[in-house]
Amino acid sequence: MSQVVVTDRLLRSWLRCRRRAWLDRHGDSRQRLWTAHRALALSDQLASFQTLLPQRPGHGEAACAAGAPGVVGLRLRGRAAGGEDLEAHPVLLERVNGASVWGSHAYRPVLGRQGRRLTREHRVLLALWGRLLAERQQAPVPEALVVAGAGRGLQRERLSLGGGLQRQLDEAIARLVSELQRQEPPPLVADRKKCVLCSWRGLCDQEAAASGHLSEVSGIGGKRRELLLQLGITSLAELAAREPDGLAEALAVHGEQHREIASQLVAQARVQASGRPERLTAGAGAGPADPLPELAGCPGVLLYDIESDPDARDDFLHGFVVVPRADDGRWRPGLAASGRYQPLLALHAHGEARLWHRLRRLLARYPDWPVLHYGETEAIALLRLAQRQGVGEEELAALRARLLDVHARLRRHWRLPVSSYGLKAVASWLGFRWSQSGVDGARCLLWWRQWRRDGGTQRLQRIFRYNRDDNLATWAVVCWMLDQGA
């Protein structure tokens, strides 16, 4: 293999997942999937930077020499302790007091933080930028700045780049270099929740499915996988073959909660290994075994899905599909596709009172119709909104009684051969296809932010289409459940 140049991008990838850095360097780039998370992170960072330094930053070496308050586009180079070339492009440099090769001022690196806390990834990356910048400006860089949020809510945190952090940086570079020289990629990351954000997820999902990786079993995260590995259980098939009581005893050493979950994990692995769903409640028809008794006599249902900006705590779209019962009294898969789609946008300029007024009017138009949603988000958001608007106890109780969580009913009545009980995984297993391929919540959020900034009817239409599809996917799950009871 050729001489490794350690870039800040490779280091950042490695700090997120060792395998990711290896794939960045040696993987087939055609297998990468575009992810909206990176674009969202960059737009958040830009908003923070524009608050910190409202004037446009200068570019490169000339801007540093001219003493620009902010500088982008400066390429830094250096050499690691092991002799490898280092290369970095700090996203922003901020002018600070001090003397440097550029005159009576110096610079420090700035990074926009995603998430609530500073992570090892942020610290080590800033340590690399600080070290290379110190060499370039011939003056120490004792600290870096981390910013988050924007406008009046901008948070600033100074990070000391001294002693311990420099040792961590050296160790990270040495390990990264040695792993990049391996012939095979490192294993999948232990906690595969991170993979949602990664452009290699398609490739790694295939590998996980093909190898029966334990993370494929719904309910197994990084910690439980570790415990199972310690017991010599390395794959979905091995877990499925385990005797549940014996496993419960072995896991109880690590805490009673693990004892209780053991039989569920084995049962889930067995269903996934067999590919056949398992009914957890007996029989069909009304009664405790009926997963959706509310649908027995109602004239129709409303499907309900919210699109949110979680960082801004903003539920920006409340989307409904109106599904009347068919003339012959039956529920059919095609009913939702021909049902009216009703999107209600929550614009800050209009205020929450107006949104609640519109929601209440829509709900009042279909008084005895259950409101079906997948997961608890919609119920929590709608009830909180109603409470904030001063709705009385009686109306709140009636609203609560109308809300029906399809996900909760599914989990109570079935075990499915899926690696996740999220809407995407379950509806896809049932054969449902979203009309816009490769779109997810992050992409939708990106469109929303772009629409708010620049407008564009097409973006809004795409958001509506995605939201409507989520409602139709929920309906696909409902129809499957009804079909099983027939």
Binding mask 97-116 for ligand SF4 (x = CB under 6 A): --------------------
CB nearer to ligand SF4: pick between 108 and 192 = 192
CB nearer to ligand SF4: pick between 228 and 479 = 228
Give the closest residue to 363 by CA, choosing from 322, 408, 406, 315. 322
Query: In this structure, what are the phi and psi dihedrals at residue 112, rounded to the nearest 5 degrees?
Result: -90, 130
Strand partners, 344: 318
Taking the complex as a whole, the smallest distance from the CB of residue 351 to ligand SF4 amounts, in Å, to 41
CB nearer to ligand SF4: pick between 184 and 393 = 184
Taking the complex as a whole, the smallest distance from the CB of residue 84 to ligand SF4 amounts, in Å, to 22
DSSP annotation string for 12-63:
HHHHH-HHHHHHHHHS-GGG----HHHHHHHHHHHHHHHHH--SPPEEHHHH
Taking the complex as a whole, the smallest distance from the CB of residue 99 to ligand SF4 amounts, in Å, to 43
Q: What is the sign of the dihedral through the CA atoms of 410, 411, 413 and 416?
A: positive
State which amino acid sits at residue 441: G
CB nearer to ligand SF4: pick between 20 and 108 = 20
Q: Residue 472 interacts with ligand SF4 (CB under 6 A)?
A: no
User: CA-CA distance, 462 to 448, in Å (whole number)?
Assistant: 10
CB nearer to ligand SF4: pick between 26 and 412 = 26
Taking the complex as a whole, the smallest distance from the CB of residue 179 to ligand SF4 amounts, in Å, to 12
CB nearer to ligand SF4: pick between 157 and 191 = 191
CB nearer to ligand SF4: pick between 37 and 358 = 37
Other CB atoms within 10 Å distance of the CB of residue 334:
10
CB nearer to ligand SF4: pick between 53 and 124 = 124
Interacting residues with ligand SF4 between 188 and 247 (CB under 6 A): 188-189, 192, 194-195, 198, 200-201, 204
Interacting residues with ligand SF4 between 139 and 198 (CB under 6 A): 188-189, 192, 194-195, 198
Query: In this structure, what are the phi and psi dihedrals at residue 304, rounded to the nearest 5 degrees?
Result: -140, 130
Contacts of 237 (CB under 8 A, 6+ apart): 212, 269, 273
Q: Residue 19 interacts with ligand SF4 (CB under 6 A)?
A: yes
User: CA-CA distance, 200 to 185, in Å (whole number)?
Assistant: 12
CB nearer to ligand SF4: pick between 17 and 92 = 17
Contact 424, 436 (CB under 8 A): no
Taking the complex as a whole, the smallest distance from the CB of residue 222 to ligand SF4 amounts, in Å, to 11
Binding mask 21-60 for ligand SF4 (x = CB under 6 A): --x-------------------------------------
User: CA-CA distance, 321 to 305, in Å (whole number)?
Assistant: 9
Selected range binding ligand SF4 among 15-23, 76-84, 279-287, 375-383, rule: CB under 6 A? 15-23
Q: Judged by CB under 6 A, which of 8, 10, 20, 402 binds ligand SF4? A: 20
Q: Residue 407 interacts with ligand SF4 (CB under 6 A)?
A: no
Taking the complex as a whole, the smallest distance from the CB of residue 221 to ligand SF4 amounts, in Å, to 13
Report CA 240 to chain centroid distance, whole Å: 29
Taking the complex as a whole, the smallest distance from the CB of residue 356 to ligand SF4 amounts, in Å, to 40
Taking the complex as a whole, the smallest distance from the CB of residue 212 to ligand SF4 amounts, in Å, to 15
Indicate the SS3 state at residue 160.
strand
User: CA-CA distance, 2 to 21, in Å (whole number)?
Assistant: 16
Contact 177, 10 (CB under 8 A): no
Give the closest residue to 43 by CA, choosing from 343, 450, 351, 335. 450
CB nearer to ligand SF4: pick between 189 and 386 = 189
Pure H helices in 138-297: 163-180, 201-211, 222-230, 236-240, 244-252, 256-274
Taking the complex as a whole, the smallest distance from the CB of residue 151 to ligand SF4 amounts, in Å, to 32
Q: Which residues bind ligand SF4 (CB under 6 A)?
A: 17, 19-20, 23, 188-189, 192, 194-195, 198, 200-201, 204
